[in-house]
Chain A
């Protein structure tokens, strides 16, 4: 006689240590196997898009810091690029290079946390993330030198950056770039062939190439599925067309590929920083823009390759001092569309690994 079973609903989150913030998943299980999953958002919806309509263009830069708080520099960059596009503000060459250096350092810092917390969620409690935070602190020290803040930098300005780098910055950066590859090798030795990591990640949460494109995935999620799509290459902004770097891609589209892509991207970022340091010109770092900017009537969409994926700002101006509409194309939110497809059919323990491999930031998902 077959045993009668019935599906079982488990509410995952919002206060769960592995949800990277306040995120909730309503899962339906058959035994331990996930048969349905519905993500529930909004526990960190702060209404940034509405608040931004009430402030001037410059006043909105601090809001962008608090979107993806692990990649504040990248958010700053995307927003100022959109406003510069809208108002036609030129940017001095030195500022462009500084922006690239900051954005790439930020990518390394963000990927360190992504990899560390993924391993943390997989059960290697605290040890890997302690290693990753050790290096991240070095990057935060560099950021603190230029902006005076550890997390919310507010460094980019419309038409440049807020201030030039101090004299101690470049020697410290050189030292960092020199040492960082050995640290990345250290992670590789510890983790790449680690049997437990392979068992937890390899072949788990597969996202096919076609699916990844159809759900508009971006960043390491898209590249992990084998699509060679990096906005720094396909639509170069700032001065990215002057650097040589590769786009790491995965083959299978599983959690392990996404993890590998992040590790390789850190190496590529170091390559870019090295080239940018060599080419760094001297000169001004900021174009003078009016204190109260009045961009012409119109709209602009600017996008960058943030650590999480394609971060875009769509800004509509009505020729007043405040944006008429301020929309954020958040990569984390859209990458989450893939979560259900990836995790149905897997066990609930795999859900944590799959979720960690997408690498989301709740500040950006809910805004």
Chain B
């Protein structure tokens, strides 16, 4: 079948294009007669001089405490001190924890910012249960520690430690962002000394 060449709009003719393609193949073939040297070849040599011997524990602990992801647990007033800690001025992302997860399955730290009531207790317990191991809890503020000024009320749980295990207590009503950051530092110290393969 004859191709009507008047409708072809290419600048180059078919013959020219084929020729060019063949040239490229020949050039590459000529240049690729030897294998490309391994870029990481030097590494084997260097590694022999720079081996770091450590335990799995320390390695895992270093990874764990360098990037804690908190879960959303914002019942009351302390939530706003936590949000300001995460926001512009105090900038929690310096500690690798600016990602506040809405899903407990992706989080490993629960900062309990606010009063816990008996009506809310099953939900907190459930969120805690859904978090993947290993997980930690910071009780933030007086209400989270003991019920604070609401302890003695008919509906307030006197402290989160009735419901879930707490690792670090940060006092204050509400604690200042600096106090919360100090509490996070304490938690990191705790994590880095963790022994779980003994």
What residues make up the interface of A, taking CB atoms closer than 8 Å to B?
14-17, 21-22, 42-48, 50-51, 62-63, 66, 69-70, 113, 129-131, 133-134, 136-137, 140, 150-152, 362-363
| 19 A–B pairs (Cβ distance < 8 Å), ordered by A | A15-B127, A16-B102, A21-B75, A21-B79, A22-B75, A43-B75, A43-B119, A43-B123, A44-B114, A47-B156, A50-B154, A51-B150, A51-B152, A63-B149, A129-B83, A133-B84, A136-B84, A151-B77, A152-B77
B89→A70 contact, CB < 8 A: no
Judging by beta carbons under 8 Å apart, are B80 and A46 in contact?
no
In this complex, the interface size class of chain B, counting residues with CB under 8 Å from chain A, is: 20 to 34
Whether B76 and A21, one on each chain, are in contact in the complex, defined by CB atoms closer than 8 angstroms, is yes
The B contact surface, by secondary structure, is loop
B187 CB–A CB distance under 8 Å = no
- CB atoms of B81 and A150 under 8 A apart: yes
Q: Which of B163-189 contact A (CB under 8 A)?
A: 173-174, 176
Contact residues in A for B161 (Cβ distance below 8 Å): none
B interface residues with partner A (beta carbon < 8 Å):
72-77, 79-81, 83-84, 87-89, 100, 102, 114-115, 117, 119-120, 123, 127, 149-150, 152-156, 173-174, 176
Given A45-B119, A46-B153, A131-B88, 20 more A-B residue pairs with CB atoms under 8 Å apart are A15-B127, A17-B100, A21-B79, A21-B114, A42-B117, A43-B119, A45-B117, A45-B155, A46-B156, A47-B153, A47-B156, A51-B152, A66-B149, A69-B77, A129-B83, A130-B87, A137-B84, A140-B84, A362-B75, A363-B77
User: Distance in Å from the Cβ of A330 to the closest Cβ of chain B?
Assistant: 14
Contacts of A46 in B (CB 8 A): 115, 117, 150, 153, 155-156
Find out whether the CB atom of A69 lies under 8 angstroms from the CB atom of B123. no
Given A15-B72, A17-B102, A43-B117: A129 touches B87 (CB 8 Å cut-off): yes
